[in-house]
Structure 1
Amino acid sequence: MILFDEDIYQSIQDDIVEHKMRCRGDIVADVCNKFRYEQKKKWNVTTLTEAASSELKNDVKKDYNKLQLGDNNVNKRVLIARDTGQFSPSEFNKKAAST
């Protein structure tokens, strides 16, 4: 036997009248089904959120690595240009100071 406090009992009685159900067991089963549905929906939203967050993190990490590689490539080209004498040391110092 399930015992309810007065507020819950009254809510069940109101639901019986409103939904034209025959007994409290039908209402309890309906509440359980709704609860299961909401839990499943909540789990799906949580799973989707975690998956999207993980994908976004991976994309940001990839883009950051590309930026780092690009910076390294630019730095390498500047050093090669300086070492091969493509521009004078004073010109190199001006360019380095401006960045």
Structure 2
Amino acid sequence: MLCKFSLLVVVLSVLVLCVCAQDPEASIATPLCGRGEAYTICGSSCTEPKCKPDKPMICPAICYMGCFCRDGFARSRNGVCVPRFMCAYANYEG
């Protein structure tokens, strides 16, 4: 009986390892984003709305995983996402 139990434990361990090896991202937790942000698998800070836009630049077509401002929000000068209409207030920091 002990031999069957040991064999069962080994088989289950191998199955768990195989499942994790097939999908390594399954064990990676999605990071918590700040207020007004959403986690995106393919985003770019280059195209993210900003309260005070940088000078025009060429944006590379590269995806980055991370927290980006949701629709209707823009990145303030102190790095937080604020409602776009609040960008008009120079001292508003979110």
TM-score w.r.t. the length of structure 2 is: 0.33
TM-score w.r.t. the length of structure 1 is: 0.32
Structure with the higher fraction of residues in helix conformation: 1
Structure with the higher fraction of residues in strand conformation: 2
Higher RCO, 1 or 2 (CA under 8 Å, sep at least 6)? Answer: 2
Q: Which has the larger radius of gyration?
A: 1
